[in-house]
Amino acid sequence: MAAEVLCGRCGTLLTNPNAPCPRCGAPASGAYQGAAGPGAYAGAYQAGYRRARKSPALAAALAIVPGLGHFYLGHNVKGVAYLVGVGGLQFFGADLDLTVIGAAIGVPMELGGGGLWLFSIVDAYRTAKRMESGGN
């Protein structure tokens, strides 16, 4: 079954999604958010897809554990990337510190992991602010 397209202004179900609404003349957008009228079920349907507001401060606080702030925001791929990136750099950097030659590589890896960890906190905060303002 094809997806139903609704008028963006009045919520009328459109039979031709490329033509303007026969009821009000508005272009088809499928963005009807009304609570009454012929397209009332669409507003309830789309309400399930609205994202809950996420606190930027809480996202940053959770990001103290690498990736957790992004999991809270629903950006799971980013969360896994930060978790693996920070964890990997810290783990392998510490392992390399055990040798004299490895210290030349291990210390920068640990510093890189620490920098990535701090950046993940800032990124979680900025992502939450962008989501709050309507961006994704």
Q: Is the same domain home to 22 and 68?
A: no
The two tokens of residue 121 are 């906190």
The strand ranges marked E within the chain are: 5-6, 13-14
Note the pLDDT tens digit of each residue in 94-123: 777 677 777 777 778 888 888 999 999 999
Q: Is the same domain home to 77 and 101?
A: yes
The strand ranges marked E within 32-84 are: none
Which pTM value belongs to this model? 0.57
Domain span at residue 1? 1-50
The two tokens of residue 94 are 């510490």
CB contact at 8 A, 4 and 13: yes
pLDDT tier, 91 (very low <50, low <70, confident <90, very high otherwise): confident
Please say if the pLDDT value at position 40 is more than 70. no
- The one-character DSSP state at 99 is S
Ramachandran region, residue 37 (left: φ > 0; alpha: ψ -120 to 50; beta: rest): left
Q: Is the same domain home to 70 and 121?
A: yes
pLDDT tier, 9 (very low <50, low <70, confident <90, very high otherwise): low
Please say if the pLDDT value at position 56 is more than 80. yes
Could you give the CA distance from residue 62 to residue 69 in angstroms, rounded to a whole number? 5
Please say if the pLDDT value at position 2 is more than 70. no
Higher pLDDT, residue 35 or 67: 67
**Number of structural domains, the chain?**
2
Q: Is the same domain home to 43 and 62?
A: no
